[in-house]
Chains A and B, each alone.
Chain A
Amino acid sequence: ADKQRNLKEYFNTV
């Protein structure tokens, strides 16, 4: 199985 990471793990919260 594969999964997707939360976008917050790629982009910073500003």
Chain B
Amino acid sequence: MFEARLVQGNLLKKVVDAVKDLVTDANFDCSSSGFTLQAMDNSHVSLVSLSLRSDGFEHFRCDRNMSMGMSLGNLAKILKCAGNDDIVTMKAADDGDTVTFMFESPKEDRVSDFELKLMDIDSEHLGIPDTDYAATVTLPAAEYQRICRDLSSIGDTVVISATKDGVKFSSSGDVGTANITVRQNTTADKKEEQVSIDLKEPVALTFALRYLNSFAKATPLASHVSLSMARDLPVMVDYQISDMGHLRFYLAPKIED
């Protein structure tokens, strides 16, 4: 039996909305430690890793580890039926082929339940090693979203280079070129405007903007996002979900053919 009650039900909606364009079907894995998902996009160059710890739920019960395959499009359709302030409870039997989502309004005057059919999904689980990243920049999530969107109107790829002067995002295309540099700013008046840069050594990598833009759909989940880069390795784009876990994206860098 799996049962998880999430008071901040819209968090689940935000998570699914953030990943559904990248991944169409995915297995949600439940264990006593929490609710996780790992999935690659169709072309296997990017990966989504969600972790929601059991202690972040108001109630969490998982008697047996289980993997629930869901169509994220269909899941998004169901979660769209939840009110923004609704409490969401997920329930599934150990050997069932459905998962039930129950939505309760905060005033307890409306309760609804939706049953989603589970699917068998073959998925490979990747082990992501702990990495000593050369550079990590933590910037407002909205700023990251804006940089990716602005550069997309110039080119298809972005070179992200971290040096002691800051982190520069550069793109070029038929229109011309663009450079956007963010610098450390840990004294900004508002905490949500702060930028911090942890640089061990300079690093520069090239990425497809299409994917970085897609990751920015997670913007409503967190005030800040961290980009961690190491030479010749996938970038990690990390949104921390307060008191619960994280939604991370990994993207392989572009390399010379």
Contact = CB atoms under 8 A, between A and B. Distances in A.
B126 A8 contact: yes
B254 A11 contact: no
A14 B44 contact: no
Contact of B125 (A2, A6, A13): A13
B257 A14 contact: no
B127 A14 contact: yes
Interface string A1-14: 11111111111111
A6 B176 CA distance: 30
A12 B255 contact: no
A4 B154 CA distance: 20
Nearest to A3: B257
Given A1-B257, A3-B254, A4-B252, A10 B233 contact: yes
A14 to B, nearest CB: 4
Given A14-B126, A14-B127, A7 B40 contact: yes
Contacts of A7: 40, 44-47, 126, 234, 250, 252
Given A11-B126, A11-B127, A13-B125, A3 B47 contact: no
Given A11-B127, A12-B127, A14-B126, A2 B233 contact: no
B208 A4 contact: yes
A8 to B, nearest CB: 7
Given A9-B252, A10-B234, A12-B126, 13 more contacts: A1-B257, A2-B257, A3-B255, A4-B252, A7-B126, A7-B250, A7-B252, A8-B124, A8-B126, A10-B233, A11-B128, A14-B125, A14-B126
7 contacts: A2-B206, A5-B252, A6-B45, A6-B252, A7-B45, A11-B234, A13-B124
The 7 lowest CB-CB distance pairs between A and B, nearest first, are A11-B126, A14-B127, A2-B254, A4-B45, A4-B252, A12-B127, A6-B44
